Every structure is written in structure tokens, then in C-alpha cells.
Structure 1
């Protein structure tokens, strides 16, 4: 009868280990599900940040193009005087050509 008790004892031990493994598997499945939710939220945040950066780059590029168009000055052509950079008033509207205001 000793062999029968040993088999039952081993069988009981194996069943306990199996039950513990099942508990661990279930816990890991719950953790995986939780992490999948966290991962999805972080991926959405990443997508929003990428879109925000791309929008900013586009806006800055458009702004730079607009600013360049506004600040570009036409070069003096035939019949147009170039104002002196040392003109006293430095006003864009002054037509004295750098010889004095008035």
C-alpha cells in the first residue's frame, strides 16, 4: 500500500503545481490585456504628437514662404534709383534717393 500512497502523493503534488500554473497563466493574461490597453493609448498619443509636429512644420514653412514674399524687395531696374543705406531717415516711402529728406 505504500506504493499507492506514493502515487497519490505525487499525483496530488502535480495537481497543485498545475493549479498554480493555471493561476499564473490567468494573471499573465490579465496583465497582457492591461498592457495592450496601455500600449493602444500610448500609440494614439504618439500619432497625435507626430501629426502635431507635421502640422507645425507645414505652418512654419508656409509662414516662412509668406514672410519671404513680404520682405523681398524688388531690385532697382532701369530708371529706378537705389536708395542709399546710409540715408538719414531710412524710410521706405522716402523718395529722396539718400540725398536728404523732403
Structure 2
């Protein structure tokens, strides 16, 4: 007969594997969503530009007395597509609020994170430099200037858990966080 602890460990392992699979699927879906949003924004900009061009008064025949051409707004550079690049791994760009937290890897800088995550990591780096390596979510919320209410602390906690799950931070003891070895090295 199997032991109770053994049965519990089997179920825990199965649950963890399911969570990891779902997390990978969520990352894939969020990356696809980000790409679709970028595509949508490009079409929106194109439609707005065409609307501007069509609604502008038609210039008279350009001749020697027509005057200087009006100044144009510079266009953003076209995104470069690499044909041999894997479709699963999008090139990280500067993140915006609400974007996903990528899994940390040596070539990835904190610029790939949204501003609030960057603030948290810089705060942890400053504290590490001051010799105060580990911080609680309440301490992080206070240092970020957030109100000392449960909602703010819970928001910081969820961000810290997400950073820890993705390898940016570690949780040496429950509720206490510090920078992971890789991100602390300045990448």
C-alpha cells in the first residue's frame, strides 16, 4: 500500500506540471496577443494617415511659385523581420504597462519589463548595494511610495511572485524577496 505522503507528492507533482504547462501556454497566448495588438495599431495608424491625406485641401499645381513643401512628420522605422528567426521567440522591445514578464535569460535586460517592474528591480538593487538584501512586499510598497493598504501590498506581492516565477527575483523565505543572481549581475 502506498504511503499518504507519497500519494500527496504525486498529486503535487501533477498539479505543478499542469501549472507550468498552463503558464507556458499563457505566455504563448500573451505573446501572440502583443503581436496582434501591434498589427492592429499599425492598421489604425495607416487608416488615420489616409484620412489625413484625403481630408487635406488639395494643393494647386506645383510650379516655381508654389513655395516650400510643408514639413512632414517623420515616420517610424519599419520593423525588421529575420527570416530564420524562430516564430516562438519575439524580439524583446521596450515594454509598456500591462505587458508580460518574460523569463529571464542572460541576453535580456530590464528594458524588456514594464516600468513598475523596472522600479521594483532597481529598488532591490539599491537595497542590495546598501547591504539590505531581502525585502518584504510591505517594505517594497512603502519604498515605492504606495499607500499602505492591502490592495497595494497585494499588487506588489503578485508582481514579486511573477518576477520570482520568471527568474528575475528569488523568494528565500515566504513573503521575502531579493534579486536573483543573473539580473543582479547587471543584465
Measured against the shorter chain, the TM-score band is: 0.5 to 0.7
Alignment of 1:1-102 (within 5 A): 9-62=3-56, 65-66=57-58
Q: Which residue of 2 aligns with 1:74?
A: none
Structure (1 or 2) with the greater strand fraction: 2
Count matched residues: 61
Bigger Rg, which one: 1
Structure (1 or 2) with the greater helix fraction: 1
**Whole-Å Cα distance in 1 between the matches of residues 12 and 58 of structure 2?**
71
Give the superposition deviation at 1:9: 2.0
Alpha-carbon displacement from aligned partner over 1:44-86 (angstroms, at most 9, x marks no partner) = 1011011011001101101xx228x89xxxxxxxxxxxxxxxx
**Whole-Å Cα distance in 2 between the matches of residues 50 and 29 of structure 1?**
31
**Whole-Å Cα distance in 2 between the matches of residues 14 and 43 of structure 1?**
42
Q: Which has the higher contact order (CA 8 A, sep 6+)?
A: 2
**Whole-Å Cα distance in 1 between the matches of residues 28 and 55 of structure 2?**
41
**Whole-Å Cα distance in 1 between the matches of residues 15 and 37 of structure 2?**
32
TM-score by length of 2: 0.30
Gaps of 5+ in 1: 71-102
